[in-house]
Protein backbone atom coordinates (compact mmCIF):
# COMPACT_ATOMS: atom_id res chain seq x y z
CA UNK A 1 0.00 0.00 0.00
CA UNK A 2 2.88 2.32 0.80
CA UNK A 3 4.45 1.66 -2.61
CA UNK A 4 1.12 2.44 -4.30
CA UNK A 5 0.98 5.79 -2.52
CA UNK A 6 4.54 6.60 -3.61
CA UNK A 7 3.73 5.65 -7.22
CA UNK A 8 0.58 7.80 -7.31
CA UNK A 9 2.43 10.73 -5.76
CA UNK A 10 5.19 10.40 -8.37
CA UNK A 11 2.69 10.39 -11.23
CA UNK A 12 1.05 13.54 -9.90
CA UNK A 13 4.35 15.36 -9.49
CA UNK A 14 5.55 14.60 -13.02
CA UNK A 15 2.26 15.43 -14.68
CA UNK A 16 2.13 18.69 -16.59
CA UNK A 17 -0.99 20.85 -16.38
CA UNK A 18 -2.99 21.40 -19.55
CA UNK A 19 -4.39 24.84 -20.25
CA UNK A 20 -7.40 23.40 -22.06
CA UNK A 21 -8.68 20.03 -23.16
CA UNK A 22 -8.41 19.39 -26.88
CA UNK A 23 -11.53 17.58 -28.01
CA UNK A 24 -11.44 15.62 -31.24
CA UNK A 25 -15.23 15.36 -31.43
CA UNK A 26 -15.11 12.72 -34.17
CA UNK A 27 -16.88 9.42 -34.55
CA UNK A 28 -20.39 8.46 -33.53
CA UNK A 29 -22.40 9.86 -30.66
CA UNK A 30 -21.12 7.14 -28.33
CA UNK A 31 -17.46 7.87 -29.13
CA UNK A 32 -17.96 11.58 -28.53
CA UNK A 33 -19.80 10.86 -25.26
CA UNK A 34 -16.95 8.62 -24.06
CA UNK A 35 -14.44 11.31 -25.00
CA UNK A 36 -16.29 13.82 -22.81
CA UNK A 37 -16.54 11.42 -19.87
CA UNK A 38 -12.88 10.53 -20.28
CA UNK A 39 -11.86 14.14 -19.74
CA UNK A 40 -13.11 13.90 -16.17
CA UNK A 41 -12.25 10.29 -15.42
CA UNK A 42 -8.66 10.61 -16.64
CA UNK A 43 -7.76 13.85 -14.84
CA UNK A 44 -6.94 13.51 -11.15
CA UNK A 45 -7.26 17.27 -10.73
CA UNK A 46 -10.95 16.94 -11.61
CA UNK A 47 -11.50 13.70 -9.73
CA UNK A 48 -10.13 14.63 -6.28
CA UNK A 49 -12.49 17.55 -5.48
CA UNK A 50 -15.46 15.45 -6.61
CA UNK A 51 -14.34 12.57 -4.38
CA UNK A 52 -13.96 15.01 -1.49
CA UNK A 53 -17.57 16.12 -1.92
CA UNK A 54 -18.74 12.50 -2.16
CA UNK A 55 -17.01 11.60 1.10
CA UNK A 56 -18.43 14.69 2.79
CA UNK A 57 -21.93 13.77 1.60
CA UNK A 58 -21.64 10.20 2.93
CA UNK A 59 -20.36 11.43 6.31
CA UNK A 60 -23.21 13.93 6.47
CA UNK A 61 -25.86 11.37 5.56
CA UNK A 62 -25.32 7.79 4.40
CA UNK A 63 -27.96 8.14 1.65
CA UNK A 64 -27.31 11.83 1.14
CA UNK A 65 -26.53 11.60 -2.58
CA UNK A 66 -30.20 11.81 -3.54
CA UNK A 67 -30.53 15.03 -1.55
CA UNK A 68 -27.55 16.75 -3.17
CA UNK A 69 -27.92 15.50 -6.73
CA UNK A 70 -30.18 18.37 -7.86
CA UNK A 71 -27.47 20.84 -6.77
CA UNK A 72 -24.93 18.81 -8.75
CA UNK A 73 -27.01 18.85 -11.93
CA UNK A 74 -27.79 22.57 -11.66
CA UNK A 75 -24.09 23.26 -11.12
CA UNK A 76 -23.23 21.20 -14.21
CA UNK A 77 -25.45 23.28 -16.46
CA UNK A 78 -24.43 26.62 -14.97
CA UNK A 79 -20.76 25.70 -15.34
CA UNK A 80 -21.09 25.24 -19.12
CA UNK A 81 -21.58 28.93 -20.04
CA UNK A 82 -19.27 30.08 -17.24
CA UNK A 83 -16.40 28.08 -18.76
CA UNK A 84 -15.84 30.93 -21.21
CA UNK A 85 -14.42 33.06 -18.35
CA UNK A 86 -12.27 30.22 -17.02
CA UNK A 87 -8.56 31.15 -16.93
CA UNK A 88 -5.37 29.15 -16.54
CA UNK A 89 -5.73 29.61 -12.77
CA UNK A 90 -9.02 27.68 -12.77
CA UNK A 91 -7.42 24.34 -11.92
CA UNK A 92 -5.45 25.86 -9.04
CA UNK A 93 -8.60 27.43 -7.60
CA UNK A 94 -10.60 24.24 -8.14
CA UNK A 95 -7.93 22.09 -6.48
CA UNK A 96 -7.75 24.54 -3.56
CA UNK A 97 -11.52 24.33 -3.13
CA UNK A 98 -11.30 20.54 -3.20
CA UNK A 99 -8.56 20.70 -0.58
CA UNK A 100 -10.78 22.79 1.69
CA UNK A 101 -13.72 20.41 1.22
CA UNK A 102 -11.52 17.39 1.98
CA UNK A 103 -10.15 19.04 5.14
CA UNK A 104 -13.67 19.86 6.34
CA UNK A 105 -14.80 16.28 5.64
CA UNK A 106 -11.82 14.92 7.59
CA UNK A 107 -11.98 17.32 10.54
CA UNK A 108 -15.61 18.39 10.99
CA UNK A 109 -18.00 16.55 8.65
CA UNK A 110 -21.17 17.36 10.63
CA UNK A 111 -22.61 20.12 8.45
CA UNK A 112 -26.04 21.57 7.77
CA UNK A 113 -27.88 20.58 4.59
CA UNK A 114 -27.61 24.06 2.98
CA UNK A 115 -23.84 23.90 3.45
CA UNK A 116 -23.62 20.49 1.77
CA UNK A 117 -25.80 21.68 -1.12
CA UNK A 118 -23.70 24.81 -1.57
CA UNK A 119 -20.43 22.87 -1.57
CA UNK A 120 -21.81 20.35 -4.08
CA UNK A 121 -23.02 23.15 -6.33
CA UNK A 122 -19.72 25.06 -6.25
CA UNK A 123 -17.60 21.98 -6.96
CA UNK A 124 -19.97 20.99 -9.78
CA UNK A 125 -19.65 24.42 -11.41
CA UNK A 126 -15.87 24.34 -10.96
CA UNK A 127 -15.54 20.89 -12.53
CA UNK A 128 -17.39 22.01 -15.66
CA UNK A 129 -15.41 25.25 -15.90
CA UNK A 130 -12.12 23.35 -15.72
CA UNK A 131 -13.16 20.58 -18.10
CA UNK A 132 -14.36 23.11 -20.69
CA UNK A 133 -11.66 25.71 -20.11
CA UNK A 134 -10.68 27.52 -23.30
CA UNK A 135 -13.84 26.60 -25.20
CA UNK A 136 -16.62 28.96 -26.21
CA UNK A 137 -20.21 28.39 -25.13
CA UNK A 138 -21.75 25.45 -27.02
CA UNK A 139 -18.91 25.23 -29.57
CA UNK A 140 -18.51 21.50 -28.90
CA UNK A 141 -20.84 18.64 -29.88
CA UNK A 142 -23.72 18.05 -27.46
CA UNK A 143 -22.47 14.58 -26.57
CA UNK A 144 -19.19 16.05 -25.27
CA UNK A 145 -21.14 18.06 -22.70
CA UNK A 146 -23.28 15.07 -21.76
CA UNK A 147 -20.14 12.96 -21.38
CA UNK A 148 -18.52 15.49 -19.07
CA UNK A 149 -21.71 15.73 -17.00
CA UNK A 150 -21.82 11.94 -16.81
CA UNK A 151 -18.17 11.79 -15.72
CA UNK A 152 -18.62 14.33 -12.93
CA UNK A 153 -21.79 12.67 -11.66
CA UNK A 154 -20.29 9.18 -11.87
CA UNK A 155 -17.29 10.27 -9.79
CA UNK A 156 -19.52 11.87 -7.17
CA UNK A 157 -21.89 8.89 -7.08
CA UNK A 158 -19.13 6.31 -6.78
CA UNK A 159 -17.42 8.11 -3.90
CA UNK A 160 -20.62 8.99 -2.03
CA UNK A 161 -22.28 5.60 -2.53
CA UNK A 162 -19.07 3.66 -1.93
CA UNK A 163 -18.47 5.44 1.36
CA UNK A 164 -22.18 5.20 2.22
CA UNK A 165 -22.21 1.45 1.58
CA UNK A 166 -19.16 1.04 3.80
CA UNK A 167 -20.77 3.06 6.60
CA UNK A 168 -24.04 1.14 6.26
CA UNK A 169 -22.29 -2.24 6.32
CA UNK A 170 -20.03 -1.47 9.27
CA UNK A 171 -21.89 0.27 12.05
CA UNK A 172 -18.88 0.51 14.35
CA UNK A 173 -17.66 4.01 15.22
CA UNK A 174 -14.31 3.39 13.53
CA UNK A 175 -16.03 3.15 10.12
CA UNK A 176 -16.48 6.92 10.04
CA UNK A 177 -12.88 7.36 11.13
CA UNK A 178 -11.75 5.39 8.06
CA UNK A 179 -13.84 7.57 5.71
CA UNK A 180 -12.47 10.69 7.40
CA UNK A 181 -8.96 9.29 6.96
CA UNK A 182 -9.71 8.83 3.25
CA UNK A 183 -10.79 12.48 3.12
CA UNK A 184 -7.50 13.49 4.72
CA UNK A 185 -5.67 11.45 2.06
CA UNK A 186 -7.60 13.33 -0.65
CA UNK A 187 -6.56 16.58 1.06
CA UNK A 188 -2.92 15.49 1.08
CA UNK A 189 -3.01 14.59 -2.62
CA UNK A 190 -4.67 17.92 -3.44
CA UNK A 191 -1.95 19.74 -1.53
CA UNK A 192 0.72 17.88 -3.50
CA UNK A 193 -0.93 18.91 -6.77
CA UNK A 194 -1.06 22.54 -5.67
CA UNK A 195 2.59 22.44 -4.63
CA UNK A 196 3.69 20.75 -7.85
CA UNK A 197 1.87 23.26 -10.05
CA UNK A 198 2.65 26.39 -8.03
User: Does 22 reside within a domain?
Assistant: no
The domain total for the chain is 1
* pLDDT recorded at residue 25: 54
Mean pLDDT across the chain, nearest whole number? 87
Which residue segment(s) compose the domain that 131 sits in? Answer: 34-196
Nearest residue to 95 (alpha-carbon basis) of 60, 51, 132, 35: 51
pLDDT of 25-48, one tens digit each? Answer: 556 788 889 999 999 999 999 999
Helices (H), 15-141: 29-41, 44-60, 65-82, 90-107, 113-131
Range of weakest confidence among 10-14, 72-76, 94-98, 126-130:
10-14
In angstroms, the CA 87 to CA 20 distance is 9
Q: What average pLDDT does this structure show over 175-195?
A: 95
Q: CA dist 145 to 28, 59, 65, 70, 115, Å?
A: 14, 30, 22, 17, 27
5 within a domain of the structure (yes/no): no
pLDDT at residue 1 tops 90: no
Q: Report helix, strand or coil for 143.
A: helix
Instruction: Let me know if residue 9 belongs to a domain.
Output: no
For the four alpha carbons of 44, 33, 126 and 101, in that order, the dihedral sign comes to: negative
Residues whose CB falls within 8 Å of the CB of residue 9, separated by 6 or more in sequence, listed in order? 189, 192
Q: Domain for residue 127, yes or no?
A: yes
pTM of the complete model: 0.86
What is the largest distance, in Å, between two alpha-carbon atoms of the chain?
50
| 28 is a domain residue | no
Whether 43 maps to a domain, the answer reads yes
Asked if 118 and 75 touch (Cβ cutoff 8 Å), the reply is no
Amino acid sequence: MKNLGIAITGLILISSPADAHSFIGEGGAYDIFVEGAGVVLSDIRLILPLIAVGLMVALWQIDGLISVWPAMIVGNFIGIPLAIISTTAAYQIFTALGLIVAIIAAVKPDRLKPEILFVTFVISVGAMMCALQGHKFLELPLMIYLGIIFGTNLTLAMSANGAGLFLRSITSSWAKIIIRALASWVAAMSLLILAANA
